[in-house]
Amino acid sequence: MNPDAGSDVTLTEQVVCRQCFQTASITLGYGDVNGALRSWESFFCPHCRLTWESDDIGFLQPEPRTRMLEAHGEWTVRIGGRKVGV
């Protein structure tokens, strides 16, 4: 885990391509975009070049959320910026 990697949390997994049945990768990302929670998934197969992406706004759906929690544990969100002194 790298705390300097930015606000997006990503998780890449090896999966079996549904088209050519070889090893492909799927990346699940979750982060802040202009103040809104956004999640996305990106699939890429290097063998047959199949790709797809999906996006969602708001909290993760239960299934990717479980995967994300297993990989990264529970997170506490801290609001950026500093308190202005009086």
For tokens 């930015």, what's the residue? 6
What is the nearest approach in angstroms of Zn ion to the Cβ of residue 76?
Answer: 38
What is the nearest approach in angstroms of Zn ion to the Cβ of residue 73?
Answer: 31
d(C-alpha 53, C-alpha 44), whole Å = 9
What is the nearest approach in angstroms of Zn ion to the Cβ of residue 42?
Answer: 14
Which is nearer to Zn ion, 15 or 33 (by Cβ)? 15
Which is nearer to Zn ion, 54 or 61 (by Cβ)? 54
Residue among 42, 41, 50, 40 nearest 20 (CA):
50
Question: Which residues sit at the interface with Zn ion, rule CB under 5 A?
Answer: 17, 19-20, 45, 47-48, 50
